[in-house]
Structure 1
Amino acid sequence: MAVSPESLSGQDVGSFAYITIKDRIPQILTKVIDTLHRHKNEFFEKHGEEGTEAEKKAISLLSKLRNELQTDKPIVPLVEKFVDTDIWNQYLEDQQSLLHESDGELRWFHSPWLFVECYMYRRIHEALIQSSPIDYFDVFKESKEQNFFESQASVIALCTYLQELRRTSEELGEEPLKKEFLKFLQVSLWGNKCDLSLSGGESSSQKNNLMNLLEELKPFILVDDTERLWSLLNRLRKTRDKAPVRVDIVLDNSGFELITDFVLADFLLSFKLTSEIHFYGKTIPWFVSDTTLHDFNWLMEQMKRSNHKWMSKCGVNWEAYVKAGTWVYHDHMFWTLPHEYCAMAQVAPDLYAELQKADLILFKGDLNYRKLTGDRKWAFTTPFHQALNGFHPAPLCSIRTLKAEVQVGLQPGQGEELAASEPSWLTTGKYGIFQADGSF
């Protein structure tokens, strides 16, 4: 049963949100401005004086945005026509109608954190699309690529493990198969630590071989529904000759985390736990390191070109999966709207209908969790399905390391005990969850 909208209207920004708005968001904007400035010669070489003027215009718009948020100015409508502009501006109107403050204006420090963050990244994109001919430029591209290159040793270790597993025992018995399945799930979980929006765009690469760390990281998994995931997929694989099994992965970060998602997807397909994998990414650069179609294809190409045989083998295989249609990439503007996911069926019914085709949906990362739960100050013991507020296109599971002040589905006293020993446990990325929605 869905929770009534009235009971969900009060969103608490939270202390971590205030720190983010006051500190981390300006830091990200400063980095974006610096990135554009460093590429001014490239813009001139490609576009002449028009490129130089576009770079100046984009920097001016972004500097204005930074001043607006640092001085708590009113949040203004989007002005440049884009596929989602009308939807965004309608959302701004709806948010303003909820306000009970005397001035009646949406402001940076007095609005829900999730909305403010999404709005900031959408304004970054607006500054670029207002600055033709450099409107194609991804201001976060360098950071995402650096994250991948700095994680090479870990990528090699994961690819080597997967390829040797495939080479030595392609047909695993049920118990060994389950054991490996749980390993690859955990790799995908801890890959989520590499989040550039949390680090303000600074390096967050993975230096160690995750496979060697899984046992010591297990105590930091606060909710572990992996047995339920195994039971579902194991049951489905035994009937896959009658009906294909589809797993959808709603992606989070590019770079090393995307490699961990690819490795998981390759394992699921190679060992016949699924027939097809559908990936969902962002239509525009988002939250610094979120995956776009360019990132998805770029990473695959880098893998294919690698001098390391197992990295290259993975890249070749992954490209073949895409060409064969067993890996499918989707993007949709809904993922970069401010709406929580319980609104998807109304706002983006085509996307909701696509997700309904899945046998299992894996939602990666913190932003997806915040949108699944409405980013509210739920009691820690609130059931996950209640926080979803009726969102249920298919059986789903959140795979997330904790980096925001929202968490549900904990045991009584579990959150309070963590808070007493580690006041920042909700926001450091130290802890993780595999949290299923209770429908399977």
Structure 2
Amino acid sequence: MTALADVPEILSNVPGTYPYGVWRRRHPRLLARIRDAHLYPPHLRDALDALCEETVQGVITALPRTAHDHGTWDAWCREHLGKPWPDAPFLWAEGYFYRRLLEAVDYFRPGPWFGHDPFGFLKTEDLQGYAPEPLDDDLPEPERAQQLLLGSLWGNLNDLGFKVGGEHAGADAVGLVADESAAVWGVLRRDAGLALVVVADNAGQEIIADLILIDFLLATGRAGTVALHVKPQPTFVSDATTSDVHTALRLLPAPVADRLRAAAGAGRLTLDTHAFYCAPYPYDRAPADLLATFAAADLTILKGDLNYRRLVGDRHWPATTPIVTAAGYFPGRFVTLRTLKSDALVGVAPDTLAALDATGEPWRTTATHALVQTNLTPG
């Protein structure tokens, strides 16, 4: 275990807190929208209603014995079975909620709903009428690089789980609470030829911005190779899967899409995934093969709020804690690009923290603020 174990985990059982609202408002609204959007038969509609009732008023129960992965989840659930859902760690409970949701809609069961993304209709709605803004090729390269990095960062606003729940929907970007982007470009120099891992977050507009950034990194030789990691199955509403990447590819400007296809054909751009990306735990519990992948990369880019929570353990760190303290266990150099949509936070300067807290606004959970943080010299 790491230093993560010495800091209390964030729970969901305190009325008035952000995690409490996720169980009381976001998840019931999400389940209702999924039920009403599909031609589900009565038993699947009943299963969604039962999941809603269990998570709001009941206690955590196990996956059915017919589930293909019930043995794995039995081990992960052992210490939480019989607890009210909000009494389990927030990160763990959310991960299990989304696994239970897929079970409720027969995602893994052979039949008409096998492999059907229950969030697909929301992803489609979000992209209706959307087209990426034209790229400004006349900008000096350093300015263009920063523009694309910030585009990828603020693309994380497009989190459909956040929107479905109604939490500050349509929030506007305000600013960065920490900005180490200069250090990022100090590593990602032109023609550096680095081996990058990019751990994606959301589909739709965010993955489009990510692909545009990846194209730039490959085209300028800053990256020699990029392994884009996506989720192995739909989860957290809009987390990107392989299918979502290809939907995004079709919406990219033709020159960008063509270059990305050529990079894939040359082995410079690959899509990858790992079962642990849908596990309910921080990265300090990742299996050896995934940790080895991070260790072998010259740099890992971790996108979004969920990856940040997994990086720092979704715990009540004092916000001024250096990120190297919270995530020093990570086995390679990393940069994390995240808009703030939950409570976990480290690496904020004391004066910045004081100024933000003085506003009286819930700035940690409104997606109005963001950060670029790094550890470029991991121990």
Provide the TM-score with structure 1 as the length reference: 0.79
Distance between the aligned counterparts of 1:179 and 1:420, measured in 2? Answer: 33
1:210 is matched with none
Letter in 1 for 2:225: E
Question: Any conservation in 2 of the 1:194–1:204 contact (CA below 8 Å)?
Answer: no
2:343 is matched with 405
Structure 2 SS opposite 1:198:
helix
Letter in 2 for 1:56: P
What is the aligned counterpart of 2:99 among 105, 122, 125? 122
Distance between the aligned counterparts of 2:77 and 2:8, measured in 1? Answer: 15
Distance between the aligned counterparts of 1:204 and 1:19, measured in 2? Answer: 12
Question: Any conservation in 1 of the 2:7–2:317 contact (CA below 8 Å)?
Answer: no
Distance between the aligned counterparts of 2:123 and 2:307, measured in 1? Answer: 19
Structure 2 SS opposite 1:117:
helix
Equivalences, count: 373
1:76 is matched with 61
Deviations 1:37-85 (A, max 9, x none): 3xx5xxxxxxxxxxxxxx33322211110111121x1101112555643
Question: Any conservation in 2 of the 1:196–1:202 contact (CA below 8 Å)?
Answer: no
Structure 2 SS opposite 1:275:
strand
Residues 87 and 230 of structure 1, relative CA distance in 2, 3 Å threshold: same
1:3 is matched with 3
Deviations 1:169-213 (A, max 9, x none): 9xxxxxx43222211111111111111011117799999xxxxx9
1:354 is matched with 293
Residues 108 and 150 of structure 1, relative CA distance in 2, 3 Å threshold: farther
Letter in 2 for 1:76: T
Distance between the aligned counterparts of 1:424 and 1:313, measured in 2? Answer: 41
Letter in 2 for 1:58: L
2:223 is matched with 274
2:162 is matched with 198
Residues 149 and 326 of structure 1, relative CA distance in 2, 3 Å threshold: farther
1:143 correspondence with 2:107:
no
Structure 1 SS opposite 2:188:
helix
Distance between the aligned counterparts of 2:129 and 2:325, measured in 1? Answer: 40
Deviations 1:267-287 (A, max 9, x none): 111111111111111111111
Distance between the aligned counterparts of 2:67 and 2:263, measured in 1? Answer: 32
1:256 is matched with 205
Which of the two has higher C-alpha Rg? 1
Residues 4 and 318 of structure 1, relative CA distance in 2, 3 Å threshold: closer
Question: Any conservation in 2 of the 1:80–1:129 contact (CA below 8 Å)?
Answer: no
Question: Any conservation in 1 of the 2:26–2:165 contact (CA below 8 Å)?
Answer: no
1:112 correspondence with 2:112:
no
Question: Any conservation in 1 of the 2:4–2:313 contact (CA below 8 Å)?
Answer: no
Deviates more, 1:219-228 or 1:282-291: 219-228
1:369 shift after superposition: 0.7
Distance between the aligned counterparts of 1:260 and 1:284, measured in 2? Answer: 21
1:413 shift after superposition: 4.1
Q: How does 1:171-190 map to 2 (within 5 A)?
A: 176-190=140-154
Structure 1 SS opposite 2:296:
coil
1:333 correspondence with 2:271:
no
Distance between the aligned counterparts of 2:20 and 2:4, measured in 1? Answer: 27
1:151 shift after superposition: 2.5
1:299 correspondence with 2:248:
yes
Distance between the aligned counterparts of 1:93 and 1:145, measured in 2? Answer: 37
1:431 shift after superposition: 0.3
Deviates more, 1:335-344 or 1:74-83: 74-83
Provide the TM-score with structure 2 as the length reference: 0.91
Question: Any conservation in 1 of the 2:162–2:169 contact (CA below 8 Å)?
Answer: no
More helix by share: 1
Distance between the aligned counterparts of 2:47 and 2:60, measured in 1? Answer: 14
Identity value in percent: 28
